[in-house]
Amino acid sequence: MPLLLAIAVSALQPASLARAAERPGPPNVLILLADDLGYADLSIQGSREIATPHIDSIGRDGVRFTNGYVASSMCSPSRAALLTGRYPQRFGHEFNPPRVTHPEAGLPLSETTLADRLKARGYATVALGKWHLGSLPGQHPNRRGFDHFYGFLKGKRPYTPSAATGEARAMMRNGERVPETFAYLTDELGREAADQIARHRDEPFLLYVSFSAVHTPLQAKPSVLAGVPRELPEPRRKLVAMTRSLDDAVGAILGALDANGLRDRTLVVFLSDNGAAERNASSNAPLRGQKWELFEGGVRVPFLARWPGVLPRGAVYEPAVSSLDIVPTALAAAGVEAPAPGLLDGVDLVPHVTAHGAAPPHPNLHWRQGPAWAIRSGPWKLVSTDGSDRLLFDLASDHAEQHDVAAQHPERVAQLAARHEAWARTLAEPSWPFQTLRPQDE
């Protein structure tokens, strides 16, 4: 266990567990999901260009997971994993849905979401922002466990609609299209989230806020952009301004928790759906790769969690964790009986973070995207970009994946490849084909 975490846990654990036991009722669960956010583009992650004090506060008051992963480097399967706690490849959700409507393109109806499980426990359940898990009637958020939905069903949207260009956001409240507003989209989602917190302050709630920021199009608020140094390249200036607006929206949401007396009664998780994208001027430095790829830059993301009195304050947790862990962590916090053994691929992170000397949460983490695949086991990561090559990295000394050491460790390569093959035999075939083009609206 890292020294910082050991100190935080040893000083806090007895009091924190006692306070958790005294809490009236189950905690609220607040999930804040950014879109295409770069690993290096928060000040808590080391950025000197982008100040993100509100997002940073989640890590300062809770835990920063330095090896936080998502289950896919694509938007839609990453979201499917987050909301089910299961590898999306297990149920055929391996790729983004194709542009042409496909009858099976979306989260299968056979899968149970976190909203389904918490709603059965008596939670109010709200989803805001980008859905991207299917647009057919049966795939609508209101049919997947969410009492309330305000957002859009598919990929990107303009941040400010324009009558001159014909750009429209096509926002929906539950099943109905709502009139266009000209508020900046990130601000609007922050205000809506704050309003939902106030509405549900007297009952436990799940609030899933799926921002479109900082996905393209690169559209910044003029007032925020004016404060970004002009010496930065123009695409980067807009990205910086968009990220600052994202931080402001997170600040509004966290402020609503405080204003309604819910800070200590809410588990907050912040992460990105995948790594930085090629065209949005974001940065994964020093990680290799980007969105769509299985190198660290595609699947390793900013990952922060806060639960006052339960999770240690200001801790840095180094063992690998996954977005797959959010569902079992939330269910355990809510007192929901765990599903049948083996059904979920994640684990409850609280015992791992708070118990001194606890084993790492995952002996292995896996990825598959068509012929490309990867496996991480301890510090070792084996990557195949096309199904035939084998690149081995020791992330303990080379987290930027610059030095392929497969030739020096053939036995390790064979061992990890065998583990991947055993895992792959448990998966379903993709339910729809991979879209070979990489459209920026996904």
Residue 10 host element (H or E): helix 3-22
Q: Is 48 exposed, middle or buried (0-12, 13-18, 19+ CB in 10 A)?
A: exposed
Alpha helix ranges (H) inside 214-272: 222-225, 234-259
What Cα–Cα distance (Å) separates residue 244 from each residue in 34, 221, 255, 376? 12, 10, 16, 33
Q: Helices 234-259 and 53-60: crossing angle, nearest 10°?
A: 60
For residue 102, which of 138, 140, 76, 135 has the smallest C-alpha distance? 135
Write phi, then psi, for 235 (nearest 5 degrees). Answer: -60, -40
Identity of the residue numbered 84: T
Catalytic residues: 75, 132
Q: Helices 234-259 and 185-199: crossing angle, nearest 10°?
A: 10
DSSP-derived pairing of the beta strands 176-177 and 205-210 = unpaired
Quote the strand ranges of 227-371, DSSP E.
Answer: 266-272, 303-306, 315-317, 321-322, 365-369
Q: Tokens at residue 428, please?
A: 């379903």
DSSP-derived pairing of the beta strands 28-34 and 205-210 = parallel
Q: Which residues are CB-contacts of 3 (< 8 A; sequence separation ≥ 6)? A: none
Q: Which residues are CB-contacts of 170 (< 8 A; sequence separation ≥ 6)? A: 152, 157, 177
Q: Is 354 exposed, middle or buried (0-12, 13-18, 19+ CB in 10 A)?
A: buried
List for the chain the helix, strand, coil content (%; round to 5). Answer: 35, 15, 50
What is the DSSP-derived secondary structure letter of residue 210? E
Quote the strand ranges of 350-413, DSSP E.
Answer: 365-369, 372-377, 380-384, 391-394
